[in-house]
Chain A
Amino acid sequence: MSRTIIIGGGPAGMSAAVEIARAGGDAIIIDSNPRLGGQYWRHGADAKFSHDGERFFALQDEISRHSEIEVRGGSQVWRASYHDGVASVWLNDGTSLASETLLIATGAYDRSLPFPGWDLPGSMTAGGAQALLKASGALLGRAVFVAGTGPFLLPVAASLVEAGVKVLGVLEANRVNGWINHLGAVDFSKMKDAARYFKILATAKVPIRIGYAIIEARGDGRVEEVVIAKVDRNFAVKPGSVEVHKCDAIATGWGFTPDLTLAHSLGVTTDIDVIDRSVVVHVDAFQETSQHGVFAAGESTGVGGVDLALIEGRVAGIAIAVQRGLISTMDAKNRSVGLAQERSRIRKFAQALLSVYKIREGWRSWLHPETIICRCEEVTFAQVRNVVHDLGASDVRTAKLLSRCGMGMCQGRVCGRIVADVVGAEIGRSATDDELRGIHNRPIAHPISLATLAKQGQ
């Protein structure tokens, strides 16, 4: 049997690799980042972490001790396929790999919501702002608002403060009364993290405003001011609550959604999450997908954070070792003590968070006709409405093809879900499950040099 292919070198991929190595197996971890760690442990060359670095170093050390684990960083998978029990991936250096076992550990990316001015320079996603800071220490601005929904806004704001940025406010759109208590109530272990963030923000006198959102950014060529408003439980603006503040950058985050491009190419069965309608990989108790030998762990099975990703990675790694005949099922049981219970406990917590920090439909009322929906192709809200109401587009795909919304460089990663929701609302129905799945349909997962492609045939 060939060595296991692990796509993604974040927490899930790393912990799976360690389990496979402990069982005496070999694997190759492929990641587009030059370094291991994924988004959560993204770091620069000096590998400094503000917290939680110990677990990363422990995993990295163990991986580097095992020569059977190859780490191929800085490598993009541009295509994947599954035939007759063999999974194949093609890399952007023109090589390809095939194996009977593969782990999808491709993580998640930020969900964005469009609003007037979201496309101005100086406006970033919360994840983007943090990745910038982690990778290169670069700051998106000097005076910044952090807005959106979800517990992730706290670490982003805290790390900006620690980096010397003046954070003018953290705006949480959902009505979470007693943010910290809420987190503590569902998972006590998160209390410590949250308390640390709150302390940093309190010391820096950062106002935290619950039930507020950035509904517009303005500026001549870049963000110079923001319009902030109080929003109701459905995210609609409360009349008379609008304020305008000067700032030079904004970071907005609306939670995460799994990156399922390669999962889709591999043909695995997916589910639609009942709470946020994200597409997630369907896995069994061993993290195996509907395709024999293809496993999934971490955010690809539903956004659940680093602790869940580490456990799912371990479960997947052990199951792969069993499937490859490296260890017995009895041995696997001994290695898995407590994992299933811990997985289900954290999953419940993740689902609880998801329902509290849900994106509510009223965000669409922030849109102006000229608001850009698709940044790559510069398609406006009015143009999307036009293809539905004037040209008769009656589904998401047709609306995309007629408006070019989602057809640009990002291939709908940023706007795919937005377009599905906007078009759905315009035609008077929710996006169907298959339309949501279609967002992830990218046979070319990442742009590939034509020269490299041409050489493959030789």
Chain B
Amino acid sequence: MKTADVVVIGAGVVGSSCALIMAEAGLKVIVVDRGPIAGGTTGAGEGNIMVSDKEIVPEIELAVRSRDAWFEIADRIGNNFELHAKGGIALSRTDSGMAGLRKLAAHQSAHGIETIEVDGARLRELEPHMNPDIETAIHYPGDGQCQPMLSAAYFLRTVRHLKGEVWQRTEVLGFLKDKDGAITGVRTAREEISTRYVVNATGTWAGDIARLAGSELSIMPRRGFILVTTPAPRLIHHKVYDADYVANVASDSPELQSSAVVEGTESGTILIGASRERIGFDSRMNMAALERLAKQAISVFPVLSKLELLRVYHGFRPYSPDHLPVIGEDANVKGLFHCAGHEGAGIGTAPGSGELLTAMILGKPTFMDATPFLPSRFQGVA
């Protein structure tokens, strides 16, 4: 039998962030995933490290700390994952939309997010190809971007260098508990691991792991398509998105929603998101989503009509009933800590989530009040 201080289930960006921060804190970590590295939602994202789309105070605090933590990690282990502070631009072409954006910006800047309202002339400096009918927007210099799969891979590489282990293609089969019901180990397809702490970082599948441990957790998938264009010289410099996007994130509607989120990547392709559908794990292509995304993106950047769609990919964002992540110890199973349900923000808020969990496990103070993220908000205490 193997022994570890912590077993992290899930080798996505959330699990690998937790593993990295715990390994750096001196804990012996084993990461277990039934698939490959970054094989789930991490491998299907844009790499958003956004502060601009956060509205609720705890999420703002988590996003701001996480953004800083991203750059600190890059300083510590090397920036091999295309991390850069590209900045975001939120726009609206309606007066009521802009009024909403201004109100949100005022709220965000009161909580430490840098926001700058820009006029048409400045907007053209920031994004020369933007539709001239867009005359004002909010610029968020603090929004960042990374390549999420490389991030997870390099985090886990560091974990291995810190004497941790990464077990790919190893399914978790069950948990060992003591007579009081506290976790004492994990049964895996490879071998048993003796541990007191388990981190459930399995994103959309977190409910399955909770059930396997004898508890419950409601994390559901919300499908999104991303369009990738053929490579082009740098046309778009920021993460540019329609204000409707913020409204969509917080929406409870199951049907297709979309609003343009457009950005360039280091490889020259342009990514166009973001659609949202709650239709379970359905991987069939939705033509309506593609058409609407293309249309909306062109309306913001007419130059895109000259480009071609090269690829489409989709992923399943893990969301919780209140759209906030679930970070903390299970109310029913001692030693089981959840770190899941980050929805579309999981890349950005992974390091802060990892810091919160590490502090909780080590019994140290957390950088913020994590009460709003605790799983107990959904779980009846048995």
Partner of A394, one of B168, B229, B304, B308: B168
Closest chain-A Cβ to B251's Cβ sits at a distance in Å of 21
Closest chain-B Cβ to A218's Cβ sits at a distance in Å of 28
16 example contacts (A-B, Cβ-Cβ < 8 A) are as follows A79-B285, A391-B153, A392-B166, A397-B36, A398-B36, A398-B149, A401-B38, A402-B38, A407-B267, A444-B309, A449-B309, A450-B304, A451-B294, A454-B294, A454-B298, A457-B288
Cβ contact within 8 Å between A443 and B229:
no
* A75-B303 Cα distance, complex, nearest whole Å: 24
Cβ contact within 8 Å between A451 and B311:
no
User: For residue B314, which residue of chain A has the nearest CB?
Assistant: A443
Given A404-B267, A443-B285, does the pair A395, B36 have CB atoms closer than 8 Å?
Answer: yes
Cβ contact within 8 Å between A444 and B311:
yes
User: For residue B272, which residue of chain A has the nearest CB?
Assistant: A450
Partner of B305, one of A391, A395, A450: A450
Contacts of A448 in B (CB 8 A): 308-309
Given A392-B168, A398-B36, does the pair A457, B291 have CB atoms closer than 8 Å?
Answer: yes
Contacts of B305 in A (CB 8 A): 449-451, 454
* A171-B370 Cα distance, complex, nearest whole Å: 69
Q: A393-448: which residues lie under 8 A (CB-CB) from chain B?
A: 393-395, 397-398, 401-402, 404, 407-409, 411, 442-444, 447-448
* A398-B39 Cα distance, complex, nearest whole Å: 7
Cβ contact within 8 Å between B291 and A454:
yes
Cβ contact within 8 Å between B298 and A451:
yes
User: For residue A396, which residue of chain B has the nearest CB?
Assistant: B36
Cβ contact within 8 Å between B308 and A402:
no
Contacts of B307 in A (CB 8 A): 449-450
Closest chain-B Cβ to A45's Cβ sits at a distance in Å of 27
Interface presence of A456 (CB below 8 A)? yes
Cβ contact within 8 Å between B311 and A411:
yes
Interface presence of B234 (CB below 8 A)? no
Contacts of A393 in B (CB 8 A): 36-37, 153
Interface presence of B150 (CB below 8 A)? yes
Given A392-B37, A447-B308, A457-B291, does the pair A409, B154 have CB atoms closer than 8 Å?
Answer: no
Cβ contact within 8 Å between A447 and B310:
yes
Interface presence of A46 (CB below 8 A)? no
* A23-B286 Cα distance, complex, nearest whole Å: 37
| Residue ranges of B at the interface with A (Cβ–Cβ < 8 Å) | 36-39, 43, 149-150, 153-154, 156-157, 160, 166, 168-169, 227, 229-231, 267, 284-285, 287-288, 290-292, 294-295, 297-298, 304-312
Contacts of A451 in B (CB 8 A): 294, 298, 305-306
Contacts of A390 in B (CB 8 A): 157
Cβ contact within 8 Å between A394 and B36:
yes
Contacts of A394 in B (CB 8 A): 36-37, 168-169
Closest chain-B Cβ to A359's Cβ sits at a distance in Å of 27
* A453-B230 Cα distance, complex, nearest whole Å: 14
* A447-B270 Cα distance, complex, nearest whole Å: 14
Closest chain-B Cβ to A95's Cβ sits at a distance in Å of 13
* A265-B156 Cα distance, complex, nearest whole Å: 34
Contacts of A377 in B (CB 8 A): 267
Contacts of B43 in A (CB 8 A): 398, 401
Cβ contact within 8 Å between A387 and B230:
no
Partner of A391, one of B37, B304, B310: B37
Partner of B285, one of A81, A409, A457: A81
* A407-B305 Cα distance, complex, nearest whole Å: 22
Contacts of B297 in A (CB 8 A): 450
Closest chain-A Cβ to B129's Cβ sits at a distance in Å of 13
Contacts of B38 in A (CB 8 A): 398, 401-402
Closest chain-B Cβ to A103's Cβ sits at a distance in Å of 23
Contacts of B153 in A (CB 8 A): 387, 391-393, 402
Given A392-B157, A454-B294, does the pair A411, B310 have CB atoms closer than 8 Å?
Answer: yes
Partner of A453, one of B168, B309, B311: B309
Contacts of B169 in A (CB 8 A): 394
Given A411-B311, A453-B291, A454-B305, does the pair A402, B39 have CB atoms closer than 8 Å?
Answer: no
Cβ contact within 8 Å between A409 and B230:
yes
Closest chain-A Cβ to B74's Cβ sits at a distance in Å of 16
* A391-B156 Cα distance, complex, nearest whole Å: 8
Cβ contact within 8 Å between A408 and B231:
yes
Cβ contact within 8 Å between B291 and A456:
yes
Cβ contact within 8 Å between B294 and A453:
yes
Query: Given A398-B149, A401-B149, 16 other A-B contacts at CB below 8 A?
Result: A79-B285, A391-B37, A391-B154, A393-B36, A395-B36, A397-B36, A398-B37, A409-B310, A411-B310, A411-B311, A444-B312, A447-B309, A448-B309, A449-B308, A450-B307, A456-B291
Contacts of B267 in A (CB 8 A): 377, 404, 407
Contacts of A449 in B (CB 8 A): 305, 307-309
Partner of B150, one of A402, A411, A456: A402
* A454-B308 Cα distance, complex, nearest whole Å: 11
Contacts of B227 in A (CB 8 A): 450
Contacts of B291 in A (CB 8 A): 453-454, 456-457
Closest chain-B Cβ to A169's Cβ sits at a distance in Å of 37
* A454-B294 Cα distance, complex, nearest whole Å: 5
Contacts of B294 in A (CB 8 A): 450-451, 453-454, 457
User: For residue B153, which residue of chain A has the nearest CB?
Assistant: A391
User: For residue A456, which residue of chain B has the nearest CB?
Assistant: B291
Closest chain-B Cβ to A302's Cβ sits at a distance in Å of 28
Q: A204-226: which residues lie under 8 A (CB-CB) from chain B?
A: none
Closest chain-A Cβ to B157's Cβ sits at a distance in Å of 6
Cβ contact within 8 Å between B309 and A450:
yes
Cβ contact within 8 Å between A456 and B287:
yes
Closest chain-A Cβ to B163's Cβ sits at a distance in Å of 15
Contacts of A401 in B (CB 8 A): 38, 43, 149
Closest chain-B Cβ to A84's Cβ sits at a distance in Å of 13
User: For residue A457, which residue of chain B has the nearest CB?
Assistant: B291
Closest chain-A Cβ to B265's Cβ sits at a distance in Å of 10
Contacts of B229 in A (CB 8 A): 450
Contacts of A397 in B (CB 8 A): 36, 39
Closest chain-B Cβ to A79's Cβ sits at a distance in Å of 8
* A175-B36 Cα distance, complex, nearest whole Å: 40
- By Cβ-Cβ distance, the 9 closest A-B pairs, closest first, are A457-B291, A447-B308, A451-B305, A454-B295, A454-B294, A391-B153, A398-B36, A453-B294, A450-B294
* A390-B161 Cα distance, complex, nearest whole Å: 11
* A443-B229 Cα distance, complex, nearest whole Å: 14
User: For residue A408, which residue of chain B has the nearest CB?
Assistant: B231
Contacts of B37 in A (CB 8 A): 391-394, 398, 402
Contacts of A454 in B (CB 8 A): 291, 294-295, 298, 305
Contacts of B287 in A (CB 8 A): 456
Closest chain-B Cβ to A383's Cβ sits at a distance in Å of 12
Cβ contact within 8 Å between B309 and A391:
no
Contacts of A398 in B (CB 8 A): 36-39, 43, 149
Contacts of A457 in B (CB 8 A): 288, 291-292, 294-295
Cβ contact within 8 Å between B149 and A402:
yes
